[in-house]
Chain A
Amino acid sequence: MKKDKYFYMQLLFTLAVCSFLIVPVVMSAVAGVTNNYFVGIKSGFTLRWVEQVWMLYSDTIWLTMKIALATTMINVIVGVPCAYVMASSKSRWVSVFDELLTLPIAIPGMAISLGIISVYGGFSDFRSSWFFILIGHVIFTLPFMVKSVLAVLQSFNFKVLEEGAASLGASFWRRFFDVIIPNCKAGIVAGMLMTLTLSIGEFNLTWMLHTPLTKTLPVGLADSYASMRFEVSSAYTLIFLCLILPLLVLAQMLNNKKVQNN
């Protein structure tokens, strides 16, 4: 294949855009392991900052993971049946419900969190617990889970598979767990990865909903940028990247596999 000058121009442009996006990330990651960023790389590398972050902020990391896992669990338990009902129902209300569900993606996180605070903020025990943040994360990520499962359900005739199982004597729940769930696995896994990723990185909502004792990683990150050495917050970024990148790569791999299968 002969490559003409347009190919090289496009390549150059793509590389330029990529580097525009990636360079700051790389710089930040490097800064996190540099002795003194203002002196530069020649000051040598160290894991000191990473250790310091771990000492100061490890609880935010655990909380973030706890919330992300809990959000994912709730999304599976609520979102999968929800998608199933939406795919099965012929009611006009499904599209209304669909809109409602999608709304949290469009509404600014601030507005949602203000809503949550004004309704539930009065229950002070609840307000100061991590469940308060969990609510926000579920509201924000549920549509992604539902859409992901819904897309799979709409890609094959699950009704006739269910009828097949029913004709063999399977009750509703047997059919649901033997036929529906296994055939939606791709959508459920994709939705779970999406939820994990979004929950770990969520800042807008969480910043409004958090208390000094319920800080998540991105909130802690903002905090460290405001009050710590640049190297410390960079090391924090590095930890964040280590958490989130594998999830993104996994999600991308699954996506590619799905495209190949079709």
Chain B
Amino acid sequence: MTDKTNSVEITLKNITKTFSDGTLALKPTDLTIKAEEILVLLGPSGCGKTTTLRLIAGLEFADSNGGSINFGDKNVTELPIEKRKVGMVFQSYALFPNMNVSENIVYGLKVRGIDTAVIDHKLAEMLKMFDLEKYAKRGVHQLSGGQRQRVALARAIITEPDVLLLDEPLSALDALLKARLRGDIRTLLKSLGITAVYVTHDQEEAMAMGDRIAVLDHGEIAQIGSAKEIYLQPKNAFVADFIGQMNRFEGNVIDAQLVLNTGKKIPLSSEALASSNANETLSMMLRPEDIRLTKVTDEQHALTGIVSSSVFLGDRTRVTLEKVQKEGKVIVDCFQRIEYPSGQIVALSFESKHLIPLQG
């Protein structure tokens, strides 16, 4: 398996999915997944991640509105999954209970009528690669969650598919195992050089796993880009709120400053000013880790808040502030080990380049 598979580019053009009960699960979507790329589909439950994956897999068929799905040059829109040469790892793993670990892993090869000698050789390779040698003859119901996950993965890649599709493959595992396996899976996918689509609702997993992330919101792609782009330049409030924590400041632009409804002022960068008109209401977003808390020197004009709670999280202290704006709270991550008792008044400072203007 060290030789790279001939991976393909996946292109979705104007793909829509309406279920028979009328649910519009995927709005008209264009999406290109580059060869050898790991694309993560990220979004809250019910946003259409699984549907998109199943459309790519050939387990669902898109509405007939002229849309198409291509694997490389090949139009696969009408092909069922068994003809698409995709590997799939299901959320529930879908291991066959009537077969043991080895039989599960080699099933795809047996279906294709591969030589027994070749099958045995590849099986040994897979068992070794996934550290399953001891469990080769075990029934799948005798395996732990992590072992099942590995069997599912081995079973999917042994046939050297063009495309690997994974639907929340780690969601059934505990946090520690999850963190370890996502590293392992990424390394594996990269060494295979396979085009992969990986579905998750966990933003941390998405950022660790994906070359690019597509954030889905109610059946459409809200934003697609690298983890950095999505985190630092979220296109809209949905993406900003879904990826990490985000504070939002709303006010009017007066004298190159954003004046909040409490009268407190935030200085704006020239870029932010350029994209806004004077006296217009404007929303700015700011990550908790970009804010520093300082002593109050000038209570009149400084941006201040009152500590309502603070939680020690080990690597940082998460402080929640009130009264910065009339409604809503501001969350600040402090990396110094300083105590912030409730009720204390603190000043907020940050670099204005960290403010993200909110569009739409």
Contact = CB atoms under 8 A, between A and B. Distances in A.
Interface in A113-168: 156-157, 160-161, 163-168
Contacts of A171: 82
B156 interface: yes
B188 interface: no
Contact of B94 (A160, A182, A185): A160
B159 A168 contact: yes
Contact of B107 (A163, A168, A182): A168
Nearest to B156: A167
A169 interface: yes
Interface stretch (B1-9, B22-30, B85-93): B85-93
Interface in B80-108: 80-82, 85-88, 90, 92, 94-98, 107-108
A183 B82 contact: no
A166 B85 CA distance: 10
A174 B110 CA distance: 11
A251 interface: no
Contacts of A99: none
Contact of B96 (A164, A169, A174): A164
Given A168-B111, A174-B111, A179 B98 contact: yes
Nearest to B85: A169
Contact of A165 (B85, B92, B107): B107
A179 B86 CA distance: 19
Contacts of A170: 82, 107, 111
Given A167-B156, A168-B155, A169-B82, A183 B98 contact: yes
A64 B283 CA distance: 85
Contact of A160 (B92, B155, B159): B92
A137 B108 CA distance: 41
B99 to A, nearest CB: 8
Given A167-B88, A170-B111, A161 B96 contact: yes
A107 B88 CA distance: 49
Interface string A170-182: 1100100011001
Contact of A182 (B59, B98, B159): B98
A164 B111 contact: no
A159 B98 CA distance: 15
A163 B82 CA distance: 9
Contacts of B112: 169
B57 interface: yes
B96 A179 contact: yes
B96 A167 contact: no
Contacts of A168: 82, 107-108, 111, 155-156, 159
Nearest to B152: A164
A90 to B, nearest CB: 8
A160 B111 CA distance: 18
Contacts of A165: 96, 107, 111
A163 B90 contact: yes
Contacts of A164: 88, 90, 94-96
A166 B81 contact: yes
A25 B213 CA distance: 74
- Point out which of A156, A157, A164, A171 has the most chain B C-beta atoms below 10 A from its C-beta: A164
Contacts of B90: 160, 163-164
A163 B167 CA distance: 13
A184 to B, nearest CB: 10
B98 A167 contact: no
A26 to B, nearest CB: 43
A157 B95 CA distance: 11
Contacts of A182: 98
Interface in A163-218: 163-171, 174, 178-179, 182-183, 185
A167 B97 contact: no
Given A161-B94, A179-B98, A167 B107 contact: no
A178 B86 CA distance: 20
- Point out which of B59, B86, B90, B94 has the most chain A C-beta atoms below 10 A from its C-beta: B94
B356 to A, nearest CB: 41
A168 B81 CA distance: 8
Contacts of A160: 90, 92, 94
B307 to A, nearest CB: 50
A183 B107 contact: no
Interface in B141-178: 155-156, 159
Contacts of B87: 167
6 contacts: A163-B59, A163-B88, A166-B80, A174-B111, A178-B111, A179-B98
Interface of A: 156-157, 160-161, 163-171, 174, 178-179, 182-183, 185
Interface of B: 57, 59, 80-82, 85-88, 90, 92, 94-98, 107-108, 111-112, 155-156, 159
Given A163-B90, A169-B159, 15 more contacts: A163-B94, A164-B90, A164-B94, A164-B95, A165-B107, A165-B111, A167-B87, A168-B156, A169-B108, A170-B82, A170-B111, A178-B107, A179-B96, A182-B98, A183-B98
List 3 tightest A-B contacts by C-beta distance, closest first: A164-B94, A168-B108, A182-B98
